[in-house]
Structure 1
Amino acid sequence: MKRIKILLYALLAPLFLITACQDDNYELGRMLDKSEIKFRIEQPLNLDAGGNTVILINETPGTLSMWDYGTGRSERRVDTVRFAFEGEYIIKFSAATAGGIVEMDPVTIQVTQNNLAYVDDPLWTALSGGVGNEKTWILDIDAKYFDGPLYFYGTDNGWEGACMNEGGDCWNWNPDYAGNTWLMPAGDYGTMTFNLKGGPFVTVNHKMLPNRGTENGTYFLDTDTRTLIMTDATPLHDAGRDGCVSSWGNIRLLSLTENAMQFAVLRMNSCEGAALLVYNYVSKEYSDNWVPEEPVDAGPDEGYNPTFAPGQLLNMLTGGASSGRVWNLDASGNPVDWIAGGKGWTESAASSSDWGWNTSWETAVADSWIRFDRFGGTQNYTRRQKGATTTGTFTIKEDTNEITLSNGNTLLQNPDSWMNPTASTIKVVKAFPNDFQSKGIWFGTSYDAGKDEWLAFHYIIP
């Protein structure tokens, strides 16, 4: 009904504009009589001997078309429908006029032969199991194939995530459900069964949407445009977004294989902005036979808890006897990490952007450095930051790879950040004795015993 009102308003809009300046005159246009509505339904037998191809034609000027042909609906003035299966089909036509909707008498047509070429496509088979079969799908709430049940894409993304318009609204966010359970409640969302048993029929059992319950409808898969139209049934989805999609039956396919598929529907602008809600499904057969992979423990990160020969760490830091070596915080690479159980997770500064690494850090460490040296036979430490120089000495505890800086000295500072390293004793958490010149060194500045986690900063040789 909402869709009908929108169509009627679009038709009546010019009339409203014409009469807007007339005082106290709110009369709408005249509703046409059924005798004034002209439409045709043709079955050109030269295209299909069984009458499978049906052409719908609205010949009434100034009206909007509203077709219901049993396996789908259309609003086109002229449309072509192809029925793959023989049988009797009832076609309903209504015309939206300036005065209201005129509903015409239904027309019954006969399709006398099957033409299964219209559903003979790998995508039809993947969706329904093929002619004479059915296939049941469930929402991938347990992340057996995808990372979770729901992804988000831009309005111009299409098949396999490709951007359909150059420079268009193309982006994606694919949250893992394990870390984002707020997306939707866990539970059994029901089943969605597509079949080709005498026609393209679909049954959806919405276990998490009692107001929808079980829906029985039809569907049409356009293999050229990678779109799916569901009529009188809606795909499995969550209650929280049920009111955020005006047309659940207009679906864009992002992927469809034997085991998994992705349906994209357009979220309304009023619900956090227009975007594609991409629901991820797996076949029930795949789900029932799914066996979780054994977790593979790759061990700790390369260089974690390094072993040095006597004096090797000192030489790496300073460059050797009577030498000095300058180190920079890796601001343009991967400057900070949280290394838990020997494994870090950041890949670049962007990994912790804003909440961790941010522009205040970039400003704080620009043109700044630290230096370890052995000038004058003493182990010296210098921190040069924002024109100020802090000096002292350092010692190394080789059995724990700990470095203690004298006079309360520290690594490069950023007092505006919660990560600011204030410790004077730092630990070499990761290092590469044979490749430090290209891979640098990770200094741990604070340790969370409960998580076995180091906050570590990455220093490199400039």
Structure 2
Amino acid sequence: MKKLYNLLTFLILSAVVYTSCTPDKYDLEKTDIKSEDLVEGIAYTITHDTENPNIVYLTSLMESNYQSLWSHPQGRSQTQKDTLKIAFPGVYKVLFGVNTRGGVVFAADSAEFVIDEFYSGFVDHILWTNLTGGVGHEKTWRLDYGSYGLAAGPLTYCEPQTTWDEWQAGTASIGWAPAWVGNEWIIEEADKDSRMTFSLIDGAEITTHKVTEGVDEEGTFSLDVDNHTITTTDATILRSNNFIANATNWNQNLAILELTENQLMVGVRRTNDEGDYLYVWNFVSDEYAENYVPEDLPDPEPILPDGWQDDVAKVVSYDIKWVLSPETPFNWANLDGSLMNGDWVSPETYPDWTGFNATIPETYSNFSLTTNSQDNTVEMVLPDGTESSGTFELDEKGIYTFSGVTPEFNICSWVNLSTTAENQWRILSIEKNLSGDVTGMWVGALSTEKPEYMCYKLVPQMGNSEADASGTELDVDNTKLLFGNLEDNNDKFRIEIYNEYGDTQSAPPVVPADVVFENSIEITFTLQGITLLDGAAGSYKTAIQMADADWSISDWGDGTGAGETTITGDGTYTVSWTPSSPYETALVFCVDVVDLIPDLSDLTAVSVTVDKVVMY
């Protein structure tokens, strides 16, 4: 007996007001459309492809100023013409509707069409096979609680527009990939027994058993192998009760990021007041889970770069004074040292629940930890001025063990800086500038409850009058900055920070005498308003132009210098220069973008902001 597919009507859509459609004239020569007017053959047609009858065309006959609404076996759509590709024989229903000035109107009755034969071409794809086991088979999946060597836990947070291609290429922006252990609030343990099954036995069907939701569902699904999405009807994927209200679409065109024989990852867009984000639910096949034998592997560890001991010792004849970063003082890290919250880059980017904001750094500005790599002594000053001294050991893994000092104080709200019970920190990563100087070091205290580190960013400063290793920031008055086609005899777009022979000489954006550095200088700037002509090159080298007061140190860059970068359009860029000897007092201080001028559609639309100049 041929299976009859009963579809949900557009109960949700009927409540939506489509403000974009306000026609002056309505079909069938009536002021308003009524349900009785939306009849097959008059308001719309359902036709089969002449060569492949399993391809079905849904075509609206209404005027184009009416938005068409369809509910069909493969989901819902709002197009004038839709194409269905139905693999399995059966009797299928279509409900047609339109938006009118009085609201959404649907046909009084759904129309039916018949598929007589099975057509394997629509499901003969590796993704269909991975999801269902193939035609005539079914496959059961469960949520991955992080026990099978695939995902860290049942849920991964990603940027809203994350795509299959980005995930497959390894370029997806992951906000958080928490382990379930230690984050049990994400989903109850009882849902380890929840299951969903995708079947290609006489149709494309989904069945679910949801423990904490307390429902068993039966529905249909369609898989778009080109766009890597899945649509379900009358059933939803497995999920956590805690997240159901956070998203409005659990059925239509859900993003698939991974689909192998053993692993499935499905993304659902968050739509509540927390902001747009992608909840990616991680699943593992029942067969794989039940037969999984974990490898006896050691826990991952941070991998530090070659020469890291010299980096943290710096110059052995001097102390290093470490302070807590005012920009990114704390985070959490995985066992391999990678930060869990990579988008925390300034006080403004920390979420409110951390309690950290731009007013906090001042409260711990007195804290310092001064280490001497010659005699392994350490001196500590806490934020309240309390001083102590002791010794430290640093082993080959990058683990500090302190004696006589215990770094511990409150950073903000409930966040504390502290070492482990053994008074230890482990170096997780080392940050450097373009010149190779250490600008920061993440150290972490291993949690006793979770496989993670609570970590802190220390910024180095050199003792004994040596220049601060974190750099000295130069004040720049952007209101006096000049930029554009400042030299008519070439095609360079110039950013003039100071030029004794230019217009900034009389109104300098910087104090020339303040431009003093021994090791290097970094200039970070933002370009906006760039529109390129058709056929433009699309990428342009920077060229630093520097000269000091007596012309003894200079650089007339041609775009090939080690610290140069490539401009490709609007964005924030950083360039750097390392002189052969100390540089004192600016005579010429510019950054050129080579050959950009003739490729610009509108030079006047381009703006420049110098975000930061740091001297080392």
Give TM-score scaled by structure 2 length: 0.51
> Which amino acid in the other structure matches residue 452 of structure 1?
E
Partner of 1:41: 46
Which whole-Å deviations, capped at 9, do the CAs of 1:286-305 have from their partners, x for residues lacking one? 11112233352689999xxx
The secondary structure found in structure 1 opposite 2:391 is strand
> Which amino acid in the other structure matches residue 119 of structure 1?
V
Q: Are 1:208 and 2:178 an aligned pair? A: no
Partner of 1:385: none
d(CA) in 2 for partners of 1:301 and 1:123?
A: 36
d(CA) in 2 for partners of 1:228 and 1:318?
A: 58
Choose the corresponding residue for 2:393, options 429, 443, 447.
Answer: 429
**Alpha-carbon shift at residue 32 of structure 1 (Å):** 2.6
**Alpha-carbon shift at residue 157 of structure 1 (Å):** 1.0
Residues 332, 365 of structure 1: alpha-carbon distance in 2 compared, 3 angstrom cutoff: closer
Residues 414, 39 of structure 1: alpha-carbon distance in 2 compared, 3 angstrom cutoff: same
Q: Are 1:446 and 2:438 an aligned pair? A: no
**Alpha-carbon shift at residue 60 of structure 1 (Å):** 1.6
The secondary structure found in structure 2 opposite 1:240 is helix
Counterparts of 1:129-140 in structure 2, within 5 Å, are 129-140=133-144
Choose the corresponding residue for 1:182, options 179, 185, 192.
Answer: 185
Partner of 1:386: none
Partner of 1:105: 109
Partner of 1:115: 119
Choose the corresponding residue for 1:128, options 125, 132, 144.
Answer: 132
d(CA) in 1 for partners of 2:372 and 2:99?
A: 80
Partner of 1:75: 78
**Alpha-carbon shift at residue 64 of structure 1 (Å):** 3.4
**Alpha-carbon shift at residue 54 of structure 1 (Å):** 0.3
d(CA) in 2 for partners of 1:300 and 1:14?
A: 61
Q: Are 1:10 and 2:18 an aligned pair? A: yes
The secondary structure found in structure 1 opposite 2:288 is helix
**Alpha-carbon shift at residue 150 of structure 1 (Å):** 0.8
442-451 or 195-204, larger mean C-alpha shift: 442-451
Which whole-Å deviations, capped at 9, do the CAs of 1:330-371 have from their partners, x for residues lacking one? 6699x999xxxxxx98679x9999889x956996589x9666
Counterparts of 1:241-280 in structure 2, within 5 Å, are 241-250=243-252, 251-270=254-273, 272-280=274-282
Partner of 2:320: 328
**Alpha-carbon shift at residue 162 of structure 1 (Å):** 4.7
Which whole-Å deviations, capped at 9, do the CAs of 1:61-93 have from their partners, x for residues lacking one? 243333233343333220000111223323333
Residues 6, 266 of structure 1: alpha-carbon distance in 2 compared, 3 angstrom cutoff: farther
Does the CA contact (< 8 Å) of 1:70 and 1:91 recur in 2? yes
Partner of 1:58: 60
**Alpha-carbon shift at residue 35 of structure 1 (Å):** 3.6
Partner of 2:235: 233
* Number of aligned residue pairs: 372
Partner of 2:379: 411
231-240 or 63-72, larger mean C-alpha shift: 63-72
d(CA) in 2 for partners of 1:14 and 1:294?
A: 66
Choose the corresponding residue for 1:86, options 86, 89, 95.
Answer: 89
**Alpha-carbon shift at residue 111 of structure 1 (Å):** 2.0
d(CA) in 2 for partners of 1:226 and 1:299?
A: 35
Which whole-Å deviations, capped at 9, do the CAs of 1:303-346 have from their partners, x for residues lacking one? xxxxxxxxxxxxx9997xxxxx212146699x999xxxxxx986
- Structure number with the higher helix fraction is 1
> Which amino acid in the other structure matches residue 14 of structure 2?
K
The secondary structure found in structure 1 opposite 2:136 is coil
d(CA) in 1 for partners of 2:297 and 2:225?
A: 38
Partner of 1:150: 155
d(CA) in 2 for partners of 1:285 and 1:360?
A: 56
**Alpha-carbon shift at residue 135 of structure 1 (Å):** 0.5
The secondary structure found in structure 2 opposite 1:266 is strand
Instruction: Please list every run of 5 or more consecutive structure 1 residues that lacks an aligned counterpart in the other structure.
Output: 16-28, 303-315, 320-324, 338-343, 374-395, 404-409
The secondary structure found in structure 1 opposite 2:121 is helix
> Which amino acid in the other structure matches residue 388 of structure 2?
A
**Alpha-carbon shift at residue 430 of structure 1 (Å):** 1.3
Partner of 1:387: none
d(CA) in 2 for partners of 1:177 and 1:278?
A: 14
d(CA) in 1 for partners of 2:15 and 2:251?
A: 17
The secondary structure found in structure 1 opposite 2:257 is strand
Does the CA contact (< 8 Å) of 1:227 and 1:253 recur in 2? yes
Percent identity between matched residues is 25
**Alpha-carbon shift at residue 102 of structure 1 (Å):** 3.2
**Alpha-carbon shift at residue 208 of structure 1 (Å):** 1.3
The secondary structure found in structure 2 opposite 1:178 is coil
The secondary structure found in structure 1 opposite 2:13 is helix
Point out the structure with max Rg over C-alpha: 1
Does the CA contact (< 8 Å) of 2:38 and 2:97 recur in 1? no
Counterparts of 1:158-197 in structure 2, within 5 Å, are 158-159=163-164, 161-162=166-167, 171-188=174-191, 190-197=194-201
Residues 2, 359 of structure 1: alpha-carbon distance in 2 compared, 3 angstrom cutoff: farther
**Alpha-carbon shift at residue 141 of structure 1 (Å):** 2.7
d(CA) in 2 for partners of 1:283 and 1:14?
A: 49
> Which amino acid in the other structure matches residue 121 of structure 2?
A
Residues 346, 65 of structure 1: alpha-carbon distance in 2 compared, 3 angstrom cutoff: closer
Residues 450, 268 of structure 1: alpha-carbon distance in 2 compared, 3 angstrom cutoff: closer
The secondary structure found in structure 1 opposite 2:379 is coil
Q: What root-mean-square deviation, in Å, do the aligned CA atoms of Structure 1 and Structure 2 show?
A: 4.5
The secondary structure found in structure 2 opposite 1:411 is strand
> Which amino acid in the other structure matches residue 43 of structure 1?
H
60-69 or 232-241, larger mean C-alpha shift: 60-69
Residues 345, 135 of structure 1: alpha-carbon distance in 2 compared, 3 angstrom cutoff: closer
> Which amino acid in the other structure matches residue 391 of structure 2?
K
Give TM-score scaled by structure 1 length: 0.67
Which whole-Å deviations, capped at 9, do the CAs of 1:20-55 have from their partners, x for residues lacking one? xxxxxxxxx734352465110111222x1xx10100
Partner of 1:312: none
Instruction: Please list every run of 5 or more consecutive structure 2 residues that lacks an aligned counterpart in the other structure.
Output: 1-9, 24-30, 305-312, 348-353, 408-417, 427-442, 444-457, 463-468, 470-616
Which whole-Å deviations, capped at 9, do the CAs of 1:160-182 have from their partners, x for residues lacking one? 54599x9xx95532122223222
Does the CA contact (< 8 Å) of 1:11 and 1:97 recur in 2? no
